[in-house]
Structure 1
Amino acid sequence: MLADLLARPTPEGILEGALAHAVTLLGGEAQGYAVLRRGQDHVAAVFGYPRSLVGTVLSGPWTGMRPRLLADGSRELYGLNLPEVQTRLDQAGMRDVPLTLAVPLSDRGRNLGALVLDRTSPEGISPEQQEAVTRWAAAAAPLLGLLDSRDEWRQAARQIASAMVEAAESREFDAVGHGQAVTDTAMRLGRAVGLAERELEELWYGAMLHDIGKLHDEAGHAQVGANFLHGVPHLAQAQKAIRHHHERWDGQGDPDRLAGEDIPLYARILAVANASVHAGDAARLREEAGRSLDPRLVGLLEKLPPER
């Protein structure tokens, strides 16, 4: 079961799996939701309840560090929330829950959230069942803590990358903000292409760092910039994007004169985003479709709604 959770390394994936197994430990006659405590407590996963609940900000009986068995079911939950939230709970069918088990998810003294399980039958919850769910929550919680640490590292790494880019751009007044603008456009285009979150992460680094080689010199900056990511296996595609973002669709670019779809996808996305920021005009960008730029990506970018 832990292997299944690790196969979906997101808080939502872990919580969905944790809920499903917790329900089996109660004999199946239950449904529930998982609360994640990041800023405001909110529903991060559901089992048996409608997915429309996900994202709902809730106050509830899970702020302590001990499991709680609530004989009055959802009464306390309703009492802690505003009428508009109560309406959403009504729509999900929570008003008449007879019995609730709230089990905290804690890791090294941090309350990360909770599994909240509601009985759907008159049957009670035995001490043995409660203990089984509590043990299961204790096993799943460290995975959430690990993801929190990973997210903190991820944010720090992005801040360092952005700071390096700002240092490079500060040498030229006109370049300030260019990396962020290209990154924003590249990410919009990457999402439109259908890249997954893991792929978008690599695209972000490729776009943000595409001109970092200019710290050395303008000439050959793409190859120099790609070398910054040498030895970082999980950013191998970002490295290719940086190296090849000056290739041309017609094969007349640098450094390897790649043409068409032989140019890595991330590099083609980056080239279109870079050209878009430089051109600032859809007509000028359209002139390069099929010449220096991937015509499909140019057309796709034109169809995207304007940024708000």
Structure 2
Amino acid sequence: MAVIEFINGKNNTLSALERVLKYITNPAKTEETLKGGHNCGINTAYNEFFMTKSEYSKLKGRQYIHFTQSFAPYDKVTPAMVKQIADELVQMEAFKGFQVAYAVHTDRDHLHTHFVVNTVNMETGMKWKQSAEQLQMMKDNSDEICKKYGLILTQGKSGSRVNRGEYRSKENSHSWKYELYLTVKKVKWIARSKEEFVANMNALGYQVDWSDTRKYITFTNSEGKKCRNRKLYPPEHFTKEALLKAFELNSQRMEARISRSKMEMLLSAVQLVKMDNQLDASRSNYPLSTIEREALKEKIEESKKGKGLNWDKESENSM
């Protein structure tokens, strides 16, 4: 399984951007077929990055994001497969509108891909905002792609093996622990509270023992098999703290969507009022309706007969 690692460095100058792009495309480290570009050409990335920054007047500050996706030496991957995995990774939602140059390096005992991301979005002009949640979603997405290729799960930078049998059966069907892992991972990014998380897990056939007096959460499937959250991979993503943080983020996103929906409804109502006012203002120009014509005709006839009272005049006389 690949490991995602972000590389910090002096990335606040255009010269640094130029150097890192030259580094990842160095012929001594990669081949032309192992290079790629998302929303840009790999050989014209610097100029395209610069044009985007210039268009939005954002030539200062951080110029790029640099991260790698590395595979352990024992992973049964080829350079072409690693390139294919990289092609899929840059399609995730986080990179929408961002230009990404990347290349697979084959000069080490382990294959790895370097990614360089322009910090300015070519579609919106907004700058890249990196959060812990976004990084986690990127790593989760990388894991999902790697699983499609049957790669072994690894633990941290050391790349130590995790029991493959716990997560994949020989027939490529899911083991019960892997099914639990997928369920918890999915519900984690849907629930907005601990109570909602437990209710959703119950609805999917799992009992959840989440007690404030116990360090770990225990999940029990429909067959009575138990598993603690520390046994799910990677364990730091399924701690009580990590789950509660995800619930809070889900709640904030839902509130933001509701606020946007309310604002859209309010704007629609204001627009309707404006349209009604415009219609009332122009109504005097419309022909009289049948009822209005009949009423006016009767009023004229009564006036000719001398019938009826002039209320305005009567009011004046009575004063």
Instruction: Work out which of the two has the higher radius of gyration on C-alpha atoms and give 1 or 2.
Output: 2
Name the one with the larger helix percent: 1
**TM-score normalised by L of structure 1:** 0.25
